[in-house]
Amino acid sequence: MSNVIAGKKVLVTGAAMGLGKSFAERAIDEGASDVVLWDINEVALAKTAAELQARGKAKIVHQQVDVSDPQAIADAAAAVRERVGDIEILVNNAGIVRGNGYFWETENKADIDKTMAINSLAPMYITLEFLPAMVANTGTESRILNIASSAGLVSNPRMAVYAGSKWAALGWSDSVRLELEQSGNKHVKISTFCPTYINTGMFDGAKGVLFTPMIKQEDAVDTAWNGMKNGTPVNIMPWTSRMNRAIGGLMPQRLRDFYLNAVGVYHSMDEFTGHKN
């Protein structure tokens, strides 16, 4: 596998902790020249930036950014271009999940707006800030990694808004991938990562599905990062999610519902709590 990271300028959203922090660590370890960290949690972000600066030779830039706000994205992106230059590796990792009831039990409509803004719209706005330069720079291999979810592949009760946001993210991401190929801009590759529940704490309380344990964070990072470098279009993890997607596409609707209910997918969010804070 060629090292497409060495000497590149990397930006990671949701970088203060969890997957985002791990992606930033990979970028540093593989010789990135600059690593830009975006997160809304200013305290955790500053702590992570200090840790990463001590990890390697990469220049670390951290910015508190609310990616649910398009203007905040535009302002932060302009600052990145001025201070760092054009981003060549973009990881759209920031995401949220809120609520665990049925859709009609939603009490705070702002949760819908926030979920769609962060999970669906933010990757679009952020990518639009940096993709044109990637396309124009034909002599440089560039990559975009978009973190979606297996919830973008299979419908699931008690997470209707989250699933809707990830369906949108997957459909958009893979469509842009096709546009790049169709237009002959194969030096830019987009990869979409669709995992089930990962043990970062975001999905605390979610039940395991038959033959599908909670994914370890390091395994998720390995799969997503290597897939991004290779330009793998869509990475689905684990194998049971790939199987469920294939079976679901072949089965009649009622039979598919019976199967996914039987293996536990449709009840995986019954006891979801998520992060305590």
Model's pTM, two decimal places? 0.87
Question: Cα separation of 37 and 51, whole Å?
Answer: 12
Pick from 10-19, 25-34, 91-100: least confident = 91-100
Pick from 43-57, 99-113, 138-152: least confident = 99-113
Q: Is residue 186 part of a domain?
A: yes
Which structural domain range is residue 145 located in?
A: 9-267
Q: Is residue 145 part of a domain?
A: yes
Average pLDDT over residues 122-150: 97
Does residue 272 carry a pLDDT above 70?
Answer: no
258-270: pLDDT as tens digits: 766 666 666 655 5
34-47: pLDDT as tens digits: 999 999 999 999 99
Q: Are 123 and 169 in contact (CB under 8 A)?
A: yes
Does residue 59 carry a pLDDT above 80?
Answer: yes
Give percent above pLDDT 90 in the chain: 67
Question: Cα separation of 21 and 38, whole Å?
Answer: 10
Q: Is residue 277 part of a domain?
A: no
CATH number at residue 46: 3.40.50.720
What is the chain written as a DSSP string?
---SSTT-EEEEES-SSHHHHHHHHHHHHTT-SEEEEEES-HHHHHHHHHHHHTTSSSEEEEEE--TT-HHHHHHHHHHHHHHT---SEEEE--------S-GGG---HHHHHHHHIIIIIHHHHHHHHHHHHHHH-TTS-EEEEEE--GGGTS--TT-HHHHHHHHHHHHHHHHHHHHHHHTT-TTEEEEEEEES-BTTTTTTTPPPBTTBPPBPHHHHHHHHHHHHHHT-SEEEESHHHHHHHHHHHHS-HHHHHHHHHHTTGGGTTTT------
Q: Is residue 65 part of a domain?
A: yes
Average pLDDT over residues 124-144: 98
141-154: pLDDT as tens digits: 999 999 999 888 88
Question: Cα separation of 53 and 103, whole Å?
Answer: 43
User: Domains in the chain: how many in total?
Assistant: 1
**Nearest residue to 33 (alpha-carbon basis) of 79, 86, 74, 82:** 86
The catalytic site residues sit at 162
Q: Is residue 104 part of a domain?
A: yes
Query: How many of the other CB atoms lie within 10 Å of CB of 199?
Result: 16
Query: How many of the other CB atoms lie within 10 Å of CB of 239?
Result: 10
Does residue 17 carry a pLDDT above 50?
Answer: yes
Q: Is residue 273 part of a domain?
A: no
Does residue 249 carry a pLDDT above 60?
Answer: yes
Task: Kindly indicate the confidence band of residue 252, based on its pLDDT and cuts at 50, 70 and 90.
Answer: confident
Q: Is residue 59 part of a domain?
A: yes
Question: Cα separation of 105 and 23, whole Å?
Answer: 36
Task: Kindly indicate the confidence band of residue 24, based on its pLDDT and cuts at 50, 70 and 90.
Answer: very high
Mean pLDDT of the chain: 88
64-74: pLDDT as tens digits: 999 999 999 99
